[in-house]
Amino acid sequence: MPTTTSHPPRYPAHRTRYSAPRRVRRSATLLAAGASLLLPLATAAPALATPPAPSATPAADGKGQPKQPPKRPPAKMSTVGGELLGRPGVQVQPGPGAPALPRELSGNSWLVADAESGEILAANNAHWQLPPASTLKMLFADTVLPKFPKSQQHTVRSSDLEGMGDGSSQVGMKEGVTYSVRDMWMGVFLRSGNDAVHVLSAMNGGVTKTVKDMQAHADALQARDTHVVTPDGYDAEEQVSSAYDLTLFARSGLQKADFREYCSTARTQFPDEDHPGKTKEIVNTNRLLTGQGIPAYKGMAGVKNGSTTNAGNTFTGVAQHDGKKLLVTVMNPEIKEPHQVYKETQLLLDWGFEAAGHVKPVGVLVAPPGASDKPGGVSGGGTAGQGAQASVSGGDGMWTAVGLTGGALAVLAVAGYIVNRRHPLPQRVQHRRPKE
């Protein structure tokens, strides 16, 4: 039977990293800057918006206040992936030597899964249908990214930018300026740019068609909790997803080399809309990747964060330690402190790495169809942005590349350790971010 843990954690509440001896042992094996490692994700799974500025409450989205999500999860939810996942509350089955779940978890819904096997180590309201915010952009990218070569150029028309919600986060795309598809995807992943989403949607035949495509792809992935209304995750009536589904989207997207490159790039250059022919630096809004405002998490390689009025703060992340790769999704923490969604993700990652092998899975992520590595459609190659942490891989099966590239895509067939180094962020990017 599932157990709700209530005894004190084995590690102090403030600890969000491994012990000093383990860090010392790992530090001796860290690769030099510029390395990029290939970390295969096995395919043998069983068949079955911008982060908020530091404030206590989510940013208002300026839209006509869609109906608020329910305060409590339903008594019965979807059982895709396992019967226990359909039950409300925390589901965990500890075995000998298993650590206790952290007490500090307040997310309305969360999930910890092994990214290779798809086994879910623990979950809380995994199938609760909640507003997703910009984590829905993972589904958008997984759906649309394969359709256009990254080198394709597009000149923005005024109609491309129509229909964005008030206060939307933007990377700064401008009518009459020409951008590459790669530029636009960097804008989607690094700056959660709703303007980039709308331009790519226009290229895909319009917002309505893109929403239909996204819904069809969600259905194909067996993401039964997801109802798509907007391509960018902006609050809309009846738009919902779940921690389970968001983790499915991340796992499916990470099969694509371009998706891995974009979601794990810490910083890159983007066309400057105010200075034609010049570029500006943009920095990823994933704080566990960049270390902005909170320590970067060792081994973090993406995936996507978001925040809206209805969704609160949401985040899905992937990280690796010592050959183990975990996916964690956290939705809407009840504790309204700055960076709380990241803090709870850190706690769950730390717990998951320690618990692996000591807990019985409570469910599984259903395998994505045709689990094979794809280079993001017809793009073929490319160079990661400065500070990227993943980008290139090959072979068959599902893969994720994690490691500090420092701007180069060198692939080294060496030990299975990774480096996630904090980089100082320039003052010019440390401004208050727009609302989603």
Q: HEC string of 8-57?
A: CCCCCCCCCCCCHHHHHHHHCCCCCCCEEEEEEECCCCCCCCCCCCCCCC
Backbone φ and ψ of 65, nearest 5°? 45, 75
- Residue 348 main-chain phi, psi, to 5 deg: -70, -35
Query: pTM above 0.85?
Result: no
Q: Are strands 398-402 and 35-41 parallel, antiparallel or unpaired?
A: antiparallel
- Whole-number Cα distances in Å, 24 to 14, 21, 27, 225: 20, 5, 5, 43
Cβ(102)–Cβ(347) below 8 Å = yes
CA distance 29 to 400: 20
- Residue 71 has a pLDDT of 82
Per-residue pLDDT 10s for the chain (436 aa) are 433 333 333 333 333 333 333 433 333 333 333 333 333 343 333 333 333 333 333 333 333 456 676 789 999 999 999 999 999 999 999 999 999 999 999 999 999 999 999 999 999 999 999 999 999 999 999 999 999 999 999 999 999 999 999 989 999 999 999 999 999 999 999 999 999 999 999 999 999 999 999 999 999 999 999 999 999 999 999 999 999 999 999 999 999 999 999 999 999 999 998 888 899 999 999 999 999 999 999 999 999 999 999 999 999 999 999 899 999 999 999 999 999 999 999 999 999 999 999 999 999 999 866 654 444 443 333 333 444 343 223 333 333 334 333 222 222 222 222 323 332 222 322 333 334 4
Judge whether 254 and 41 are in contact, CB under 8 Å: yes
3-state secondary structure 348-383: HHHHHHHHCCCEECCEECCCCCCCCCECCCCCCCCC
d(CA 173, CA 179): 8
Nearest Cα neighbor of 231 from 253, 209, 264 is 209
Residue carrying the six token digits 């510029």: 34
- State the CATH class of domain 28-60+106-429: alpha beta
* Amino acid identity, position 47: A
Kindly list the distances between the CA atom of residue 254 and the CA atoms of 48, 88, 180, 264, in Å, as whole numbers in the listed order. Answer: 20, 28, 22, 10
From residue 33, how far is each of 168, 254, 382, 388 by CA, in Å?
36, 23, 19, 11
| Residue 397 pLDDT | 34
